[in-house]
Amino acid sequence: MPRLAHRTHDFLTFQVVELFKQAQALQTAGKDIISLGIGEPDFTAPPQVVEALERAAAAGLSGYSPPAGLTALREAIAAFYHEQFGARIDPARVIVTAGASGALTLACAALVNTGGEVLMPDPSYPANSNFVLAAGGVPRLIPSTAEKRFQLSAHDVAEHWAPATQGVLVASPSNPTGTSIDHGELAELLAQVRAREGFAIVDEIYLGLSYEGQPRSALTLDDDIIVINSFSKYFHMTGWRLGWMIVPEDMIAPVEKIAASLAICAPTLAQHAALACFAPDALRTFEHRREAFKQRRDYLLPEFERLGLRVPVKPDGAFYIYADIGGLGTDSAAFSQRLLLEAGVAAVPGLDFGPAHGRHTMRFSYATGLDRLEEAVARMGRLLQR
Ligand SMILES: Cc1ncc(COP(=O)(O)O)c(C=O)c1O
């Protein structure tokens, strides 16, 4: 076997991968497993999008697109950002990518130097550390608290910024907590970063799935940041591998240059199909589905409380509940095993999202139908009574 690069060993591996393998094996063996583990909507792309894909394929529109994406799609995304999230942006600043993952890879490739540090909250989406490592940088997880909605604060930036620090990476709403950064606090955080001439990457992949009031993009606060988004969550198109980033004007050409080499372009057929997402009837479908997610959250929160799974901060977006299981007298790794083996419910131990709260927290995803959630709650209830 060839000798692997050092960074290969530095990359984090996730417990969730093992958990899914285990859940799959149980399912194959005939056990009914309810997955509250996966961060993937149970809805799929609506029929308009599937039909648009078929039309594009039949018309042979399957060649490379420009590296930054189809002009019409970049325009549609810019219009969507204005209508939905209040940010007026030039479509030229939209770079279409292979999912938010492609956007985060590009952002880190364009911004992070070898040894450059990137601050992010603990807990965070686990792949974020690996995007930074892939670019040769150093992820620095800053332990957050329920009082800070498990987010990074302006104070954290001031306290933890070191000579090697280059920028911050935050997500609002966040995975695993489903909590957003208060707009005023985000403004203060961005001001601290700007004062240090650093970069701010704001992952808004769950912004469309906000349940308390009209969501606003971080771009309404600061035009000089890098915003990440995707067709995976609000648009229910995970496997289509389509996302985007919105970059400051001066970054367009450098990012296009890197994108042209790393991926040539995002999947072209998926881009043609995604144009259908912005038709009024498709947008209505997405809004109904958002309501369905909200209903599930509103069902689960009191049930969790009743079961003794404490939720330290009410999630206002995404489809996750980050629960504190500290009161159950067990740790998250052991509890997730008991949940899976004894109750047939898969959920992710908090350890995957960072060490600060990992042992006593679990992430539950409600990207599963209400009937299955009710069954999961009943099963957890029986387990916890034992
Ligand atoms: C916060 C966050 N960012 C990015 C991603 C990657 O998403 P995509 O499917 O668009 O690559 C995920 C996926 O779960 C996520 O939770």
Report which of 99, 92, 90, 97 is spatially closest to residue 65, judged by C-alpha positions: 97
- 8 Cβ contact partners less than 8 Å away, ≥ 6 residues apart: none
pLDDT of residue 39: 86
d(Cα 361, Cα 353) in Å, to the nearest integer? 10
Ligand 1 in reach of 204 Cβ (< 6 A): no
Please check whether residue 289 is in contact with residue 43, taking contact to mean a CB–CB distance below 8 angstroms: yes
Mutation probe of ligand 1 site: the residue of 233, 236, 348 with most atoms within 8 A of C-beta: 233
Helices (H), 61-181: 71-85, 99-111, 127-134, 154-160
Structure tokens at 222: 């600061």
- The pTM of the full predicted model, rounded to 2 decimals, is 0.97
Please check whether residue 21 is in contact with residue 340, taking contact to mean a CB–CB distance below 8 angstroms: no
Rg (CA), the chain: 21
Mutation probe of ligand 1 site: the residue of 40, 177, 205 with most atoms within 8 A of C-beta: 205
Ligand 1 in reach of 232 Cβ (< 6 A): yes
Instruction: Provide the β-strand partners of residue 169.
Output: 201
- Profile the chain (386 residues) by mean pLDDT over runs of 10 residues: 90 84 94 92 95 98 98 98 98 98 98 98 97 97 98 98 98 98 97 98 98 96 97 97 98 97 97 98 97 98 95 98 93 95 96 96 96 98 92
Report which of 364, 340, 363, 366 is spatially closest to residue 351, judged by C-alpha positions: 363
Which amino acid, one-letter code, is at 44? T
Residue 320: its H or E element: strand 320-324
pLDDT of residue 360: 96
Ligand 1 in reach of 243 Cβ (< 6 A): yes
Q: Which ligand 1 atom lies nearest to the CA of residue 102?
A: 11
**How many whole angstroms from 40 Cα to the centroid of ligand 1?**
9
